[in-house]
Structure 1
Amino acid sequence: MNIIQTIILAVIEGLTEFLPISSTGHMIIASAVMKIDQDPFVKLFEVAVQLGAIISVIVFYYKKFFPLNKWSFYLKLLVAVIPALVLGALFSKKIDMLFENPLIVAIMLFAGGFVLLFIDSLFKRPLITAEGEITYKKAFVIGIWQCLAMLPGISRSAASIIGGMQQKLTRSLAAEFSFFLAVPTMCAATGKKLLDAYNETPQILMDKHNLFLLGIGNLIAFVVALIAIKFFISYLQKHGFKLFGWYRIIVGAVLLVLIYKGIIV
């Protein structure tokens, strides 16, 4: 993977990590288009570059994360991340296999688009407007919803936001809690991916060029994600999810055609 390909994947990650359109799905497709999807380092990069985007959440919402005496806030995130940790530990190999299939990404993007078209009309009367009103039970249920994103193309952000709205959170609060939940979830995923790479293919992490690309990629993802978070919250409060639904449907349909034509395999 070269520096241009690194920048492309990092920008995609930063733009899409917190939008309900599947960041991993977009990176998988981009890697396939650039013909680098079989590179073991690229598979590692697609997960590890998410760390930069996750750090942007901590910076953007630093008042939520600091000082460190808000135990209920951290405990709710811990409770919410438990389902993903358990399922990830039990089925990590099978999940990795799914993420190598562009067809699944295309189908999930397409189908998920229709869900987003109608999601606003399904949850019209939110009752919870502040983070302190989210109970541990509700946090756990949102964490279960998040696990749907183990299917590539579903979108971790979309699954957890929908879970939040199903639990009576407002759109903006559901989005914010989804961002917060991304921190322990993606830190765990990145840590596991790096540990697996160290144990199975340590030469990938020992390569100075690869480490340089990881550093550049995370920096770019961090900056772009900061912008994307601000845009998404502002847009969501005013307009809802329909734009993202139509985007997913169009992109999914185009990908299905490209896969059918053999352009993407």
Structure 2
Amino acid sequence: MEFFALIQSIVLGLVEGLTEFLPISSTGHLIIAGDLLNYTGEQAKTFEICIQLGAILAVCWLYRQRLMRVAVDVTREAGARQFVINLIVGVLPSAVFGLLLHKLIKEYLFNPVVVALALIVGGLIIFLVERKQRKPRITTVEQMSAVDALKIGFAQIFSMIPGTSRSGATIIGGMLFGLSRQAATEFSFFLAIPTMFLATGYDVYKSWDTLAQQDLAFFAVGFVTAFLSALVAIKALIRYVAHHDFTIFAWYRVVFGALALVYFLHWSAP
């Protein structure tokens, strides 16, 4: 693997791992970073999905004991069964809409200008939600019903627009539907597991003919980098939401989105 390709893989892996679980859009950052690094096209889109799997595995690792306990207790404990039902119900809306709109979204929305606009709009929504935040009726994931999970699942559909943020849509959606920041953030982590496994599997299947053996090292470096950096980001976010709101992420989205919009409409114009 050439040195520049190694740098591309590491940088994109870091971008993915550090942004996947923050409400600032990992896909949006990857599209912008890929454009700046001159790594675009169908293979780049497949690479982005694959390194997202590395970030999701970080969640599986950090919550491995809880996930194993659910797997063991699912046939005999009502709380474990409800947890699994909530994940299934939560992932259904994006799975259905993803299958229906996957091709159109990749063809028309995966570009830096759409990302920049979505970042700005998402930031403004976070401002509004935080300003009108009321006392939550659900403070832990265990208190959630299937209806709560379905509502968050529908909120996750908006994350198919690049720049919106899957974690942002589910966390802010959860807060709108009565979850505390901590509960919404934690459920967002868990919901990411089936969502991204399905998205990764489907995308790799559809893009298999674009991959070659010489690409394995490039993908592997990005995958490992995303996994390690996601471990750091998840732990940091858990500590952060215990004492702070999401206003800082709203400011970041608006400022970064505005800068990206100016850059791609002006300096990047042909």
User: Which TM-score applies when normalising by structure 2?
Assistant: 0.92
Matches within 5 A, 1:111-130: 111-130=121-140
What are structure 2's unaligned runs of at least 5 residues? 74-79
CA deviation string 1:94-151 (max 9, x = no partner): 1112342211100011121122223222222101112221000110110000100111
Q: Distance in 1 between matches of 2:122 and 2:31?
A: 17
Are positions 1:224 and 2:234 aligned together?
no
- Over the aligned positions, Cα root-mean-square deviation in angstroms equals 1.4
Match of residue 242 from structure 1:
247
Tell me if structure 2 keeps the 8 A contact 1:25–1:152: yes
Q: Secondary structure in 2 aligned to 1:2?
A: helix
Match of residue 15 from structure 1:
18
Q: Distance in 2 between matches of 1:243 and 1:138?
A: 26
- Opposite residue 77 of structure 1, the aligned amino acid is L
Tell me if structure 1 keeps the 8 A contact 2:159–2:165: yes
Match of residue 47 from structure 1:
49
Match of residue 187 from structure 1:
197
Please point out which of 57, 60, 80 is paired with 1:58: 60
Are positions 1:161 and 2:164 aligned together?
no
Tell me if structure 1 keeps the 8 A contact 2:28–2:162: yes
Which range moves more in the overlay, 112-121 or 231-240? 112-121
Match of residue 6 from structure 2:
3
User: Which TM-score applies when normalising by structure 1?
Assistant: 0.94
Which range moves more in the overlay, 208-217 or 100-109? 208-217
Q: Distance in 1 between matches of 2:269 and 2:130?
A: 33
Tell me if structure 2 keeps the 8 A contact 1:98–1:152: no
Please point out which of 60, 80, 89 is paired with 2:90: 80
CA deviation string 1:49-80 (max 9, x = no partner): 10010011111112321131332212210110
What are structure 1's unaligned runs of at least 5 residues? none
Match of residue 152 from structure 1:
162
Tell me if structure 2 keeps the 8 A contact 1:60–1:226: yes
Q: Distance in 2 between matches of 1:26 and 1:264?
A: 19
Q: Secondary structure in 1 aligned to 2:248?
A: helix
Tell me if structure 2 keeps the 8 A contact 1:76–1:139: yes
Q: Distance in 2 between matches of 1:216 and 1:170?
A: 36
Q: Distance in 1 between matches of 2:109 and 2:50?
A: 15
Tell me if structure 1 keeps the 8 A contact 2:89–2:146: yes
CA deviation string 1:23-61 (max 9, x = no partner): 0000000011111213x2211101111001001111111
Tell me if structure 2 keeps the 8 A contact 1:33–1:264: no
Stretches of 4+ aligned residues off by more than 3 angstroms = none
Tell me if structure 2 keeps the 8 A contact 1:119–1:241: no
Match of residue 260 from structure 2:
255
Q: Distance in 2 between matches of 1:180 and 1:127?
A: 20
